[in-house]
Amino acid sequence: MNARAALLIAGASYAGLQLAASARNLGFEGRIVMVGDEALPPYQRPPLSKGLLTGKSTVESLPVKSEAFYSESGIELLLGRRVAALAPERQQVTLDDGSSLEYDWLALTTGARCRPLPVPGAGLAGVLEVRTVDDALRLDAAAGGAHRACIIGGGFIGLEVAAALAGRGLDVTVVEALPRLLARAVTPQMSAFVEDLHRRNGVGFAFGQAVSALHGDNGKVCAVELASGERIDCDLVVVGIGVIPNTGLAEAAGIACANGILTDGLGQTSAPRVLAAGDCAAFPNPYAPDPARPIRLESIQAANDLARAAASLLVGAPQPYASVPWFWSDQYDAKLQMAGLMAADDEVVVRGDPASGRFTVFCLRNGRMAAVHTASRPAEHMLGRKLVAAGASATAAQLADESFDLKSLLA
């Protein structure tokens, strides 16, 4: 292939795609090549832990864009290939097939990989993770013949998988090392609601428990052993204990990394003409409790919005990242939506009755709206994003009063 790209993108998921699409929308005219190590063009990942396991989604419905998008936009996809090495001083990369490409701009959108479970038995058959479409299809197939599933990790992925498998009639237990679910993302009130939701759907829990080993029978997993010595019999294990950013390429090239490739609000790394965005990137977020400290946000919103900022730099009209973080999770019939980033010492106010299944948790920091978490109240989520963006002032009494008009806080 022609050996130079105006924009070379390493990693073909949300961030890479958004960067390419935004660059084109903003009038970037040079050659764009996007390299991805999976077989599919950029595809939707949320259904992997939900619809793809319940039959609501199919692989055919996953691609984010049509083939026509790539041809009409002039974005070349190089799939089944990986960038193996990077020489920023020569503005050149080497692919895993040994070929090399020069670039004017390079974007590292290499994503993250599942954190492996560091215990004996983690390599047994029937121990799965969910990151890629292949992972999800493997899990779907394994669930078909399984009866008892143990989910290790009570985060969003683990809980979505738990909901999907419980819905398929499996007996499901979730093991969580901390005393409550989703502890880093939501307040105890929302954790309690989610736990209750799962219990009502037959899911069991083991809290505050580390996993010490997985046991197998003829090479296939048959039990999870907890640090307490308790054993949970199972024929399927799904590990969802977080991810590790794919920083190897950047680190080997001497680019600054610290739990992620460090960037500014335009996605610029420590190397000239090298950008990063998506799950692999850590950048200072204006809505974080500490706005100066680089953080990684594993969400489609963060991937898209930092990619948009990076694209603006490419066309010489830089617009740094300024978006309110938001993400969502669908479990059973509950729609959980989170706007803003909470801190452990925020003042927490609940609006509505969690027992009704529809309520909102507000997090105030110094009297201003820092985060809004809703359960099946999408209007308050949408409003919540605006309240967080505005840093709206509010009192606990106002927020807890259902007759109080929240929109008046924006005035």
Q: Tell me whether residue 270 or residue 323 sits nearer to other proteins (CB atom).
A: 323
Other beta carbons within 10 Å of 144? 8
Shortest separation between residue 382's beta carbon and other proteins, angstroms: 3
How near is the Cβ of 375 to other proteins at its closest, in Å?
12
Closest contact distance (angstroms) between CB of 213 and other proteins is 37
Q: Which is nearer to other proteins, 305 or 346 (CB)?
A: 305
**What distance in Å separates the CA atoms of residue 17 and residue 91, rounded to the nearest whole number?**
21
For residues 253 and 383, which CB has a smaller minimum distance to other proteins in the complex? Answer: 383
Contact residues toward other proteins (CB under 8 A) are 44, 46-47, 61, 64-66, 68-69, 72-73, 300-301, 304, 328, 330, 335, 337, 376-379, 381-383, 385
Taking the complex as a whole, the smallest distance from the CB of residue 365 to other proteins amounts, in Å, to 23
**152 close to 239: Cβ distance less than 8 angstroms:** yes
Closer residue to other proteins in complex, CB, 69/207:
69
The answer for residues whose C-beta is within 8 angstroms of residue 345's C-beta and 6 or more apart is none
Nearest distance, CB of residue 385 and other proteins, angstroms: 8
Q: Is residue 250 classed as helix, strand or coil in its secondary structure?
A: helix
Select 56 or 90, whichever has its Cβ closest to other proteins.
Answer: 56
- State the minimum distance, in angstroms, from the CB of residue 283 to other proteins: 19
Alpha helices in 174-217 (DSSP H): 188-200
Tokens 């989610």 belong to which residue? 194
Can you tell me the distance from the alpha carbon of 213 to that of 77, in angstroms, rounded to the nearest whole number? 42
**CA distances (Å), 45 to each of 23, 33, 131, 240, 335, in order?**
23, 22, 8, 15, 17
Between 205 and 321, CB nearer to other proteins: 321
334: closest CA among 182, 198, 152, 165? 198
Both structure tokens of 283? 């950048």
